[in-house]
Amino acid sequence: MSTAVPDTTPVVVGVGQYAENIGDSDYEGLSGVGLAARAAERALADTGADVAALARAIDTVGGIRQFEISGPGMQAPLGRSDNYPRSVSGRIGADPARAILEVAGGQGPQHLLTELAGEIAAGRSEVALLFGSEAISTVRHFAAAPDKPDFSETVGGQLEDRGYGLAGVSSRHRANHGMVDAPSTYAVCENARRARLGGGREEYALAMGRLFEPFTSVAAKNPYAAAPVERTAAELATVTDRNRMISDPYPRFLVSRDQVNQGAAVLVVSVAAARRLGIPEDRWVYLHGHADAYERELLKRADLSRAPSAPAAVQEALSVAGIDLADVDTFDLYSCFPIAVENVLDGLGLRAEDPRGFTLTGGLPFFGGAGNNYSMHAIAETVAACRARPASVGLVGANGGSLSKYSVGVYSTTPAPWRPGTSAALQARLDAVPDVPVAERADGPATIESWTIRHGRDGLTPIVIGRLEASDQRFIAMGLPGDDELLELLHTDQPIGASVFVRNIGPGNRVSTSRARMDELLPVRPIGFRASYEYVEVRRDGHLLEVTINRPDKRNSLTPPANDELAEIWDAYLADDELWVAILTGAGVDAFSAGNDLSYAATGKPRYLPRTGFGGLTHRAPMDKPVIAAVNGYAFGGGFEMALACHLVVADEAAQFGLTEVRVGLVAGAGGAVRLPRQLAPKIATELLLTGRRMGAAEAASYGLVNRVVPRGTALQGARALAAEILEGSPTSVRTTLRLMTDTAAEPDVTAAVNAPSAAVDALLMSEDAVEGMTAFAQKRSPRWVNR
């Protein structure tokens, strides 16, 4: 076969797969690097050319990120390579100029192949090898063994590490509401789809089983499959002890199987390099079409049951290839859960019973969900199918995240020049659709939009996505422990559309069947002071309130429960007419507050802030009673942010201030990055924020961040003296002054701000304090303020 394509046209010339199962007679317990190297060796051999010469010719390698390096804090119990792509390439005798570690996500294999094919077409590369692997089954098998193998490798060298790529894929907000795993996320989409289509639970479960039944038949014949067992639709859909429920409506047989030991690799070269290296033309497979598309974050999508980016990417890739759906002979659609396949079929108008089928591997629940690398196996099988039927067309659809990213490739042995993609225009069209507004803090009557129940070792966790009746904003919420009524509702045949009640508390949104049930399970605490607190001491002295953070052994750093206590205290202070001024300080002389308790954060316990922010202060508005920060020692991170949120600051001469978040990989997000540039010259504020530099009390005072500097150990006394001065004035006037300052702060025109009508000033002029103040002045006596 001769070709009439340019020499720079990219062609796939070699594919390889490798797998091993614990218990097999030839099981070696290979690491992820070892599995990928075996697959790469097979890919080179698959070309029919000189393997050693091919290895020497490789100028670019691209590694697919393994699960154990796909997110912050991921564990590698047996160790890992510090440069996965170069560890693998070194095993096969390659020394490429460029090594890439792709972002996380199942779209990675197809996305990276498309990218490197484009590099070849542009003349920036000639021979590129892609590979990926997972040894999850082996790692779990040996993790607790006393003589476990060590998979650590230090190879160094150039590496283009593209990071995790998690932006828009997940969110801390969703994780804080129980949606921490893929089954729960996809289950919410699946349940929304059932509601859209109609039909009962059993009918829909059987439909999911019928979709995946032929997948099991393919997997049963695939020598690389992790679970090569043919099953009927009823077996897949019926919940049993073996097929336990994971996240409603998904039992175990319908979810991606991640306990695998699998590797796959693909070699793509230019036509010129293929000829030079002696690769026979019957091994050449062309990438006729390709597309990449991205979906918005789950809670912002117009329809939870659809991710239009995936079918749109398929259509775009077919358009680039110049063909229609009817011209495709084989499909392999990413199948981590039924909705991942159904979403594409719905968008394209395809039937689940299409005789072409939708997998060549057997699919992720049966072949195996080889981490981010599954679609490398799909590409390998598609290339083999194209070679077996010359001129046929194969399509690979690769999904990543929560139906978040989709990459498509269209393959054929029919020669075709490289065609640039049109994904940018596609993405612009997708992005033009407005976001659904989301209420991160939700309160009030609502309706269920979708839901799931996560089944875990710690019991059942109901998760609801709904719409607030008052605003139609979308929210996510968790059920409450012991709420049998909510579980009963979610176990009805169709809970979507049912009325519920949602309430926001510190850890997040909680949902129940009604306000009465919510009040029963999660009663609202009346505003007022407790008799005692665990983390804080409170002292009343006439009209003065003193609040002391009492964690000196932790430098008065705060945990979520401590923040909750402070939030309650400030609520009570603002509601108490007999309290006119407050002081906030820290126990001891060493620290006002060192901010977040990072040791608490490292325990894995939920991290959250009350809606009024760090220390119950930083997000609070309005603050119409004065709070004085008495800063003794360190005020770092959230501690400094609390001081910035206070109206006045008294610091002892040994005090130090700093927004040190950048030094521990965080950001001054509790108000520091907003307030500091408004209270300082922008250049100074930027320096302090970007460097985390500490400054002493004198420097802070020179910038106007501190009102008074007092001798070491006397910050509280200094704050009391300042409070006494404030208490000499009318509390009504003080409160009105703070309101007036707040109300006019956003008006840049001074004259307009001065002339702006103020209901607070009008009320002051009619108050008893205003009358008393003028009367006392006329009578030459001290006023007797009544605060009304």
Active-site residue set: 641, 661
The 10 Å Cβ neighbour count of residue 516 is 10
Instruction: Say which residues have a Cβ less than 8 Å from residue 581's Cβ, sequence separation at least 6.
Output: 543, 544, 545, 625, 626, 627, 628, 723, 726, 727, 734
Whether residue 232 contacts residue 208, with contact meaning beta carbons closer than 8 Å, is answered with no
Q: How much of the chain is in helix, strand and coil states, percent to nearest 5?
A: 35, 20, 40
Nearest CA among 371, 308, 301, 288 for reference residue 334: 371
Give burial (CB, 10 Å; 0-12/13-18/19+) of 496.
buried
Give burial (CB, 10 Å; 0-12/13-18/19+) of 120.
buried
Instruction: Say which residues have a Cβ less than 8 Å from residue 99's Cβ, sequence separation at least 6.
Output: 60, 61, 62, 63, 83, 85, 86, 89, 157, 158, 159, 160
**CA-to-CA distance for 57 and 126, rounded, in angstroms?**
8
**CA-to-CA distance for 476 and 256, rounded, in angstroms?**
24
The 10 Å Cβ neighbour count of residue 654 is 18
**CA-to-CA distance for 519 and 513, rounded, in angstroms?**
11
Antiparallel, parallel or unpaired: β 708-710 and 627-631:
unpaired
**CA-to-CA distance for 387 and 695, rounded, in angstroms?**
69
Residue type, 328: V
Instruction: Say which residues have a Cβ less than 8 Å from residue 608's Cβ, sequence separation at least 6.
Output: 176, 506, 507, 508, 560
Whether residue 560 contacts residue 569, with contact meaning beta carbons closer than 8 Å, is answered with no
Whether residue 474 contacts residue 438, with contact meaning beta carbons closer than 8 Å, is answered with yes
**CA-to-CA distance for 540 and 547, rounded, in angstroms?**
9
Tokens, residue 186: 């996809």
| 363-389 exposure pattern, b = at least 16 Cβ within 10 A, e = fewer | bbbbbbbbbbbbbbbbbbbbbebbbee
Whether residue 266 contacts residue 113, with contact meaning beta carbons closer than 8 Å, is answered with yes
SS3 31: coil
Q: Which contiguous run of DSSP H or E holds residue 87? A: helix 84-91
Secondary structure (DSSP) of 294-316: EPPPGGG-S-TT--THHHHHHHH
The 10 Å Cβ neighbour count of residue 348 is 14
SS3 149: coil
Nearest CA among 436, 497, 440, 444 for reference residue 468: 444
Whether residue 397 contacts residue 325, with contact meaning beta carbons closer than 8 Å, is answered with no
**CA-to-CA distance for 782 and 788, rounded, in angstroms?**
17
CA distances from 739 to 160, 336, 622, 747 (A): 53, 55, 8, 14
**CA-to-CA distance for 30 and 439, rounded, in angstroms?**
47
